[in-house]
Amino acid sequence: MKNLTGKALLVDPALTKSTAFTREERENYGLRGLLPYDVASIHKQIERVLGSMRSKSTAIEKYIFLNALLERNQRLFYRTMIDHMEEIMPLVYTPTVGEACKEFAHIFRKPQGFYITPEDRGDIARILKNWPDEDIRVIVVTDGERILGLGDLGANGMGISIGKIALYVACAGIHPAHCMPVMLDVGTNNLVLRTDPLYLGYPHPRISGESYRSLVDEFIQAVQHCFPKALIQFEDFLTPNAFEFLDRYSPKVRCFNDDIQGTAAVTLAGIYSSCRITGKRFADLNIMFLGTGSAASGTAELLVDALCVAGLTESEAHRRLWFMGRNGLVTLNSGNIKPRIKPFMHDHPSYGFVEAIGKIKPDVLIGATGVAGTFTEAVIGEMARVNERPVIIALSNPTSHTECTAEQAYHWSDGRAIFASGSPFDPVWYRNQLLKPAQGNNAYIFPGIGLGIHASSARLVTQKMFLAAAQVLASSVTDAELKDGSIYPKLTRVRQVSQAIAVAVCRIALQEGLAETDLPGDMDDFVRSLMYDPNY
């Protein structure tokens, strides 16, 4: 226990057991008199936590309470989250984390991550050594420019990195001491933040161009020096920067972008699962995207790979995928199209949204706009007209920005829609049937990817790993869950899913010659042995 005793032990968040210290421990560690009489089990402590949390009237109050618990007692926080995943994950991450990021400077209590600003240029490798843990295996880094669908939140975006780290620990069992949330605080163009007297970030306009790129490059190189086994997850960067950094660094260092690749894998898994409900062949699907940002284009690129695995040529796969932009259907005659979307420009008349659905008859509609209400009654109704079981996937977060709600999707499709969303929705009663919408949560994917990279020490993260993760996730959905209309497994099984994904990643790392550690024959047991199980 780091030789800590007395009050120092009680307030160390990684080591404290609070009222669960036994009589013998209280004697040995100088705790007598510092605790009330009762020796409480962790289960009794969880009851107390849940009672206090549930007494809060708003989600943000519950977020603040849970964050304070994490700062106070790490094991109790993670044990509570793991045992009550469906209740607590929406409070720790989507959708509550969006509000928490907006209010981050106002609800700030205690520093939890690592901040890098332009004033640290030239010193990043040196200051990274100020971080208290040395064996870092996962870094989640953001620059706060495109937080969920909320835009530029500057240094407030640290809430995203902190939240994703919590999911790595709870959902995949990566030890907290191996994890590091990072904020590249390069300024903000959000004038409301810059003029807020409580704002904690670098109070200048965002740096850009070569000044920005060179700072990111210095950070990446510093990580290789200080934490050579660390996986870097890029989070909530503006689309052009997200793709630029992914293309630049992924061939050289172990990194990935969750908004691009994690979203793609979880969406692909949902489409695979939906085929078990509709009876359609994956290789026969036509899929339409609303939105042309990083989530949509990244998903389309992974779908091309998946369709090729299913037997199509690359050109055939491209022809199965359609994009709706601001000016209608993307075709060869469309102007001002992003480079990643150009392979999906078809020789086809341009139509508006509803008319395009009627002409193309997509089996799956995917929303990645960040704009609420873009899946209108007319849109859902047309999808239901051309499909017996229309698949509607509304990816945008937080809930206030989703393309449509579960209730809308079900009611506008006469209860026939297979609906999934990025944020959670409650079950919906429709004509005496309880329909259970699925949450296409990236937490099903990235924690398992991280665990697999940790277990194998794979020196790179590849598209085949995300294809495998999607296949594992889809195969985890039970027939009973499909019967309820859910195309993802219950969150209560997310740790088992993460373990299975990690094993699949290890196998691909071996196949591709990327593993830098010797892996045993029984990889299931090996991966399980690495998973942090918070308890006393």
Active-site annotation, residues: 93, 164
Q: What residues form DSSP beta bridges with 182?
A: 114, 141
Q: Which two tokens stand for residue 354?
A: 């509803």
CB 151 within 8 A of CB 190: yes
Residues 37, 53: Cα–Cα separation, whole Å: 24
Integer CA distances (angstroms), 320 to 2, 126, 134, 291, 301, in order: 58, 50, 47, 16, 12
Nearest to 422, CA basis, from 291, 324, 325 = 291
Q: Which two tokens stand for residue 227?
A: 């934490």
3-state secondary structure of 70: helix
| φ/ψ of residue 349, rounded to 5 | -60, 150
Q: How many CB atoms lie within 10 A of CB 2?
A: 9
Residues 486, 271: Cα–Cα separation, whole Å: 11
Helix H or strand E encompassing 182 = strand 179-184
Residue 264 neighbours by CB under 8 Å, 6+ apart: 295, 298, 299, 301, 302, 303, 466
